[in-house]
Amino acid sequence: MNLPPLALPTSRFPLPGEFVFATAQYESGDWDSAPLVPANLIDSVARYTSLPVAPTGAIVALASDDLFRFPLVFLTGHLPVRFTDAERTNIRRFADRGGMLFVDDHNHDIDGAFHKTAVEELTRAVGPLSRLPNTHPIYSTFFKFPDGPPNTSHELNGWGDNLVHSHLRAAMRGDRIAVLYSNKDYSSEWGYHPDNKRFLAIDNTKFGVNIIVYALTR
Amino acid sequence: MRPLDRVIRTRRALAAAIATRAALGSFGTVLLTAAFLTAALRGSGVATSSAVWLVAGLVGAVALALLVRPWSRLTVPRVALWIEERVPALQYALVTAVDPAGAWPGATFLEREIDRVSWDRVAARAIVRGLRWPAVAALGGLAAFLLSLRVGVASAVEHDGARPSVTTTSEREVPAPFARLVATVRSPAYAGGQVVRVESPASIAALVGSAVVLEAPGSGDGVTADAGDRSIPVQRVGAAWRATVTVETRPEVVRLRHGSAERLVALEPRPDSVPVVRLLFPARDTVIRAARGELRLSAQAHDDIGVATAAFEYIVSSGEGESFQFRSGTLGVRRADSARDVALDAPLDLDQLGLKPGDMVHLRAVARDGNSVSGPGAGASETRVLRVARAGEYDSIAVEGAPPPEADKSLISQRMLIMLTEALEKRRPTLAHETLVSESRQIARDQTRLRKRVGDIIFQRLGNNPTGEEGRGPDDALTSDSTAPAVDSVRRDSVRRAAARAGRTPREIVAADSADSARAALLRAASAATGSGDEILDFEGDETPVVAINRPLLEAYNAMWEASRELDQAETGRALPPMRRALAAIQRARQAERIYLRGKAPAVVVDLARVRLTGKEKGAASTRLPRAPMDPAAARRAARLAAAIELASRSPAAAIDSIVLLRVQSLDAAPQLAAALADALVAMRSGRDATTALARARRIADGSLRGAGGLGDWSGVW
């Protein structure tokens, strides 16, 4: 797969053209609550695809212009989210210019502070989040997920809001997902060292590969 | 010369030629036969013997008989015809002239004609031609025999050498004077003088002092023997020679030389073990109150050769302090007549020893073997001490029975105590007063125990040396020697008296007092804060960290104390409110905010090449460490063994000698290597394949073979 070269800072991203998994840093909340997710998804991308990928993730401030250097940015947290004006503006511009923001509720709780505030802030930034149909191409762009988003063990165990969420939500730009929002707590589901992936009968990070491939190809 | 005389002369020459041809032919036959048999036997690994020459001689005799048969046909007419056949110019004149039928009228004419013809050269040429092939046969037989010897040695090399691929011949065959070497080993007289006969010995293991007689048939002329730097006389006894050597305490090699030939015999000394003695009774050291009566002593002794004598030995030590006196003696001496196992029993009469209080009797059993060469070896058992108690030490000897420690009982929770109290309060109207008091006091005791546990938790945080405001009272000055002058003398004297009573140091007393003061201060602060215990603690302003941390538990502690007091008076109704306050305080302590510090997230760098299976395994987990340098002596042994193995391909006998020397020098330093070399030597000398034994010896010499030392802790079967 040929990717357009990315103008990345040479100090952190020495190889142009490789995919760098970026985690969004925002002023409020605990943006760094899932530090192992980037490495785990990088491992999955390397394992299943031939995409040139950087071995470590990057952290990008939502308010900085560096945000536009990354095609996909991951945002998570437990605590209430209050975007600054600069962050809100950047998110809007990021979505309009082709970027994709993947937001995951680390609380897995629709009554939780993160869910309420994040949905509110995202709505203000990019518009309302609508239910993403389970037939969307993101569920088949690499691995096939005919039933929609894969469930997490936290959902099935009844933690958080005791709900098994059947759909993801998204803010669209045309037929492209600009913001993908999840209540499924993938931050916890994927938050383990990639070396421990060998203990799983089924790799639960495959949907993460779909998200990345979708973001890079749309 | 008449024709007849000339024919007779020719007949003599022919007879000599027949005899020579028969001799050469039979000689060649004998050698060919011997060569064939020698090659066949040695090729199959069987040593040659005189039977080979017997068979060869028989075959040679048959050949001689067959080859001599023409002798009988050497008559004058036949010789004349033989000449006529080779000299046609005679035209049968010679046959006619020597006709034994009688004189013939024209004989003179014939003699003149015969005289003109000479056949000596023709006859000589024919004789030489007739001897040519027998001579060739004799030479061929000789060559074949010599070749069979060499081929036989080459075959032996293949069996003796370390490597089966060896095909070269040895330069040294087993030297003739040592080919049938026999060793007779006679053990020392004290060991029974047993005689062991060893044929073709390479190594002899025997007791120190054993006499080894090396003997072989022959005159022994030119044979010399030495062991190290001492020469061994070689004597001729009848049709054999012998050399006698005694086994010394150190391993050595006996070198037998004859000209350039040499034979080595290693002598391995086997030391005589000292007897092993076990004292069975008394089984342990004993203190007796009165030295009276009789004590039975029992012991066992064992020796590899035989025990000569065994006995008990005792030493009585009397006195104390710097003045001691000793007496010694022997009991139950027994001559065992070289029995290998000896049981020893004897009575010890304490009355005869005249023991006084404080005396000690040291008892042991001793056995000696009959080693008259390097001994005798003496073995002794461990020593038991029998002590007579002094009059003043009876109290220290007696052990008072201590009460068993109090069992660790589980505490009843505050919630359960409340339930018990509530139940008792309900039953109160129906209970007798004594029963009510008894059950209420039972609950009070449990409440007290729980209060002590809460107190332990509180004061546990103070540590052994309380710090902070509570631990810095005026009494703390006593804990420092530098501040001791500041303490008044009355206080100091009281501390000293308390220390003397308690058997502790004044410093310990002061420290304990200080800790108690700290606790008391803490409780005073808690009481002052809680007042009568009716309201919740609310420290403000100058509350200490200890109080702040333990505030809920302090409140519970005070409430429990109040509840215990009420329960002790059977006032169950009045005890319940403080009990509930204590429970509420415990609950508040349980719900206290806890702060868990979060560590820094690990920086995970994904090894993409490993994930994509395109990388190379670096093998960091199995990093090899450099080997420890080999012991120089071990390195020399390994080098010598390698050289000997290399030598085996060219000169097996020399290789055997080298290995014998290496083995003798390894007996002490590297017994495992020596054992492996012994196996290799046995294989080489017996003509078997020694590759495995030499390879094992080389692994040991290189240090690559080590014993496992038994099973590991977790390697067994579950």
- Indicate the pTM of the whole model: 0.34
pLDDT (mean) for B694-710 = 73
Residues of B in contact with A32 (CB under 8 A): 601
Element of type H or E holding A117: helix A113-126
Confidence of residue B515 (pLDDT cuts 50, 70, 90): low
Identify which of A43, A63, A67, A49 has the alpha carbon closest to the alpha carbon of residue A141. Answer: A49
Confidence of residue B493 (pLDDT cuts 50, 70, 90): low
What pLDDT does residue B197 have?
84
Task: Find, in chain B, the residue whose alpha carbon is nearest to that of A56.
Answer: B605
What pLDDT does residue B143 have?
87
DSSP string, B374-392: S---EEE---EEEEEPPGG
Query: Percent of chain B having pLDDT more than 70?
Result: 73
Q: For residues B11 and B81, give the distance between their C-alpha atoms in angstroms, rounded to a whole number.
A: 11
Q: Do B603 and A193 touch (CB under 8 A)?
A: no
Query: pLDDT: is B528 or A102 the higher one?
Result: A102
Q: Do A35 and B601 touch (CB under 8 A)?
A: yes
Average pLDDT taken over every residue of chain A: 88
Structure tokens that stand for B384 in this block: 């038991």
Q: Which of B598, B604, B614 to mutate to test the interface with A (most CBs of A within 10 A)?
A: B604
Q: For residues B390 and B333, give the distance between their C-alpha atoms in angstroms, rounded to a whole number.
A: 32
**pLDDT tops 50 at residue B590:** yes
Q: Do A53 and B608 touch (CB under 8 A)?
A: yes
Q: For residues A106 and A185, give the distance between their C-alpha atoms in angstroms, rounded to a whole number.
A: 5
Residues pairing with B362 in the sheet: B315, B385
SS3 per-residue string spanning B658-688: HHHHHHHHHHHHCHHHHHHHHHHHHHHHCCC
Task: Find, in chain A, the residue whose alpha carbon is nearest to that of B600.
Answer: A35
Across the interface, which of A32, A36, A47 has its CB nearest the CB of B604?
A36
Give B443's contacts (C-beta < 8 A, 6+ positions apart): B417, B420, B421, B424, B567, B572
Rounded to the nearest 10 degrees, how much is the dihedral formed by the CA atoms of B423, B426, B431, B436?
A: 50
Query: pLDDT: is B54 or B473 the higher one?
Result: B54
pLDDT (mean) for B67-91 = 83
Task: Find, in chain A, the residue whose alpha carbon is nearest to that of B612.
Answer: A47
**pLDDT tops 90 at residue A94:** yes
Task: Compute φ and ψ for B461, nearest 5 degrees.
Answer: -75, -15
Q: Do B606 and A35 touch (CB under 8 A)?
A: no
Residues of B in contact with A35 (CB under 8 A): 601-602, 604
What pLDDT does residue A134 have?
94
> Identity (one letter) of the amino acid at B237?
V
> Sheet harboring B234-237: ordered strands across?
B195-199, B182-186, B211-217, B240-246, B234-237
Lowest mean pLDDT among A148-152, B213-217, B322-326, B655-659: B322-326
Q: Which of B611, B612, B614 to mutate to test the interface with A (most CBs of A within 10 A)?
A: B611
Give B270's contacts (C-beta < 8 A, 6+ positions apart): B205, B206, B207, B208
Would you identify the CATH topology of the domain B276-393? Immunoglobulin-like (2.60.40)
Select from 3.40.50.11540, 3.40.50.12140, 1.20.140.10, 3.40.80.10 the CATH code of A22-217.
3.40.50.12140
Average pLDDT taken over every residue of chain B: 77
What pLDDT does residue B465 have?
42
How high is the ipTM of this complex? 0.78
> Identity (one letter) of the amino acid at A185?
D
Sign of CA dihedral B111, B115, B117, B122: positive
**pLDDT tops 70 at residue B594:** no
- Quick check: B73 contacting A, CB < 8 Å? no
pLDDT (mean) for A118-141 = 94
Lowest mean pLDDT among A70-84, B266-280, B361-375, B697-711: B697-711
Give A49's contacts (C-beta < 8 A, 6+ positions apart): A1, A142, A209, A213
CB-side neighbour CA atoms (13 Å) of B445: 7
Q: How many cross-chain Cβ pairs, A to B, lie less than 8 Å apart? A: 35
pLDDT (mean) for B453-463 = 73
What pLDDT does residue A164 have?
84
What pLDDT does residue B481 have?
39
The gap between the terminal CA atoms of chain B, to the nearest Å, is 116
Q: For residues B654 and B643, give the distance between their C-alpha atoms in angstroms, rounded to a whole number.
A: 11
What's B593's DSSP letter? -
Give A212's contacts (C-beta < 8 A, 6+ positions apart): A19, A21, A41, A45, A51, A72
Element of type H or E holding B369: strand B360-369
Task: Find, in chain B, the residue whose alpha carbon is nearest to that of A48.
Answer: B612
Q: pLDDT per residue over B671-687, tens digit each?
A: 889 988 988 888 888 88
Query: pLDDT: is B708 or B313 the higher one?
Result: B313
Q: Do B612 and A46 touch (CB under 8 A)?
A: yes
**pLDDT tops 90 at residue A40:** yes
Q: For residues A52 and A47, give the distance between their C-alpha atoms in angstroms, rounded to a whole number.
A: 11
Q: Are B142 and B635 in contact (CB under 8 A)?
A: no
Sign of CA dihedral B57, B60, B62, B68: negative
What pLDDT does residue B488 have?
44
Q: Are B566 and B582 in contact (CB under 8 A)?
A: no
Q: Are B270 and B207 in contact (CB under 8 A)?
A: yes
Query: pLDDT: is A177 or B13 the higher one?
Result: A177
Q: pLDDT per residue over B301-339, tens digit each?
A: 998 888 989 999 888 888 776 667 778 889 888 888 878
Q: pLDDT per residue over B337-357, tens digit each?
A: 878 899 999 998 888 888 888
Query: pLDDT: is B609 or A100 the higher one?
Result: A100
Shortest CA gap B600–chain A (Å): 9
What pLDDT does residue B528 have?
57
Q: Which of A43, A50, A192 to mutate to test the interface with B (most CBs of B within 10 A)?
A: A43
Residues of A at the B interface, defined by Cβ within 8 angstroms: 32, 35-36, 38-39, 42-43, 46-47, 53, 55-56, 193-194
- Quick check: B402 contacting A, CB < 8 Å? no
Q: Are B234 and B255 in contact (CB under 8 A)?
A: no
What pLDDT does residue B545 have?
61
**pLDDT tops 50 at residue A7:** no
Structure tokens that stand for B589 in this block: 């302590």
Q: pLDDT per residue over B206-244, tens digit each?
A: 888 888 898 888 877 888 888 878 888 888 888 888 888
Query: pLDDT: is A17 or B451 the higher one?
Result: B451
Identify which of B351, B344, B332 has the alpha carbon closest to the alpha carbon of residue B291. Answer: B351
What pLDDT does residue B492 have?
53
What pLDDT does residue B504 have?
56
Q: pLDDT per residue over B121-173, tens digit each?
A: 888 888 888 888 888 888 888 888 887 766 544 333 333 333 333 322 333 44
CB-side neighbour CA atoms (13 Å) of B624: 4
Among B235-249, B449-463, B517-531, which range has the highest average pLDDT? Answer: B235-249
Domain boundaries, given as residue ranges, for chain A: 22-217
Query: Percent of chain A having pLDDT more than 70?
Result: 91
Q: pLDDT per residue over B84-103, tens digit each?
A: 888 888 878 888 887 766 65
Confidence of residue A103 (pLDDT cuts 50, 70, 90): very high
Distances (CA, A) of B614 to A47, B274, B640: 11, 69, 48
pLDDT (mean) for A17-40 = 90
What pLDDT does residue A181 have?
96
Across the interface, which of B601, B606, B612 has its CB nearest the CB of A194?
B606
Q: Are A169 and A181 in contact (CB under 8 A)?
A: yes
Residues of B in contact with A39 (CB under 8 A): 604-606
What pLDDT does residue B472 have?
37
Lowest mean pLDDT among A79-83, B43-47, B702-706: B43-47
Q: For residues B496 and B386, give the distance between their C-alpha atoms in angstroms, rounded to a whole number.
A: 42
Confidence of residue B565 (pLDDT cuts 50, 70, 90): very high
Query: Percent of chain B having pLDDT more than 90?
Result: 12
**pLDDT tops 60 at residue B396:** no
pLDDT (mean) for A98-127 = 89
Burial A170-200 (b: 16+ CB within 10 A, else e): bbbbeeebbbbbbbbbbbbbbbbebeebeee
What pLDDT does residue B479 have?
37
**pLDDT tops 60 at residue B506:** no
Domain boundaries, given as residue ranges, for chain B: 3-160, 276-393, 414-590, 632-702
